[in-house]
Homo-oligomer: A and B are copies of this chain.
Amino acid sequence: MIKLHHLENSRSQRVIWLLESLGLEYEVKRYERDPKTGLAPKELLEVCSLGKSPILEIEGEVLPESGAIFQYLLSRFDSDHRFHPRPTDKEYKDYLFWMHFAEGSLMWPLVIKLLFAKTEEKVPFFIRPVAKLIFTGINKAYLDHTLTHAMDYVEENLKGRDFFLGSQLSAVDMMMSFPLEAAQAGRFDLASYTEIKKFIKKIKEMESYKKAIEIGGEYAY
């Protein structure tokens, strides 16, 4: 039996999308965020001491880390390669790249920007201007240009194709969905990123995406 330990409003949502696409039988155990901190609840620590979601439970073992879960599920249950290329396919390099890029390069600057925004809200009002100054400094010196390079790269690579690896939906599109949606939800200005916005709109209209949302529960950032 496959069980997904799923945190509401999280990167875990896309694992449901993959499980659905692969047509697998699975159970979803849903966890709610701590209402005060917005972090994962302590119960997740009992499943795996990393205390993060998603965690896949399969054959008596637990497997955390989105990219690893994706690659494991694909290696086990996508033997006809509907959702990921073969090592001999020309798309293989790109598949590996996006699979690692989503969390390794794109997601974390967005998380940090959110942390900064939340911290700015929470600090006493007389500290706020200084906090703003410091965060703006770090954003300018580091996060903004890292993110801009990353988003430009995504935009460029979506040009002239429907999905990340070409004309067909693949696991890469699912993996990349979360950071791009997180960006659109206010963590990065996508105004000039036509291709990315078109991509997000397209996936949101897909039946498998909608089904996954239905199963994962109401979804927000």
Contact = CB atoms under 8 A, between A and B. Distances in A.
A101 interface: yes
Nearest to A97: B68
Contact of A67 (B100, B107, B119): B100
A68 B105 contact: no
Main secondary structure of the interface of A (DSSP, over half): helix
Nearest to A122: B137
B96 A49 contact: no
B96 A71 contact: yes
A172 to B, nearest CB: 11
Contact of A75 (B61, B87, B127, B150): B87
A92 interface: yes
Given A63-B93, A104-B66, A149-B51, A134 B142 contact: no
Given A49-B152, A50-B149, 17 more contacts: A39-B142, A49-B153, A51-B149, A61-B93, A65-B100, A65-B101, A66-B100, A67-B99, A68-B101, A71-B100, A72-B93, A72-B96, A100-B103, A104-B104, A104-B107, A112-B112, A130-B131
Interface of A: 37, 39, 45, 49-52, 61, 63-68, 71-72, 75-76, 87, 92-93, 96-97, 99-101, 103-105, 107-108, 112, 115, 119, 123, 127, 130-131, 133-134, 137-138, 141-142, 149-150, 152-153, 156
